[in-house]
Structure 1
């Protein structure tokens, strides 16, 4: 199921600065809604994968009401990411589960072994935490030796000393 509810999106209207033509944006949102619905159907296997959404070109307007360009552009970035996610699911033929998945960290009654559906041959054992430098590779980055925390602590200490001196 698509994570974006196109019917609920609202953009701020602008008049004194440049904005996008409201009619063109609304028309494109109708196309977005249809495409996401078709992709939802393709993910469940009940319909073919639809064509890609075209890249929109909205007419800029001034001195008449238009939609805030930044808000529209940010929403279209979300739509592109969601479209790519759904196309990936539809391409693999994986149905989106109706019920939420159990998380073994949050739910102790969840199974000890979790199967990754994107690679069915691989089984991940979550009963034992990983160890060593490879335990959390996403947290080990170049220059992440804790200096950021030390700098923050130093700044707080200096601020406290200055506050005491000024009193």
Structure 2
């Protein structure tokens, strides 16, 4: 049984984690979980991930993969008619499905392929250079700019 948690104290002491808390809040609400189609999520490298979904019976043209901002939507819809078929046992599910995955910032789909009934989606986190951490030099003593004088321009690590 799930219980709802109050995340309001965390909102007061953090900045920029709204989306994370919204996802936690949504996951704590009681709602039917979709367990089909089954899937795995693997971390295969420092910034590389793979989602593998078991979708036997679907052709590549019956699957739609869409990434919009931080969400990846995988949807499947069987084409063709089931009319005229009489099943004595039907164990292969061919019902339509929609599965949404919330992706972290800067995670992009790099490849997707269907083989032996398994859809494999490769993902990679690619942080732009402008957003990567950078070291900032601190001037002290004789190198520091006196009050009232603008700081020196620095090119390629040397003072101008």
| Fold equivalence (TM over 0.5) | no
Taking structure 2 as the reference length, the TM-score comes to 0.21
Higher relative contact order (CA 8 A, sep 6+): 1
- The structure with the greater share of residues assigned to strand is 2
- The structure with the greater share of residues assigned to helix is 1
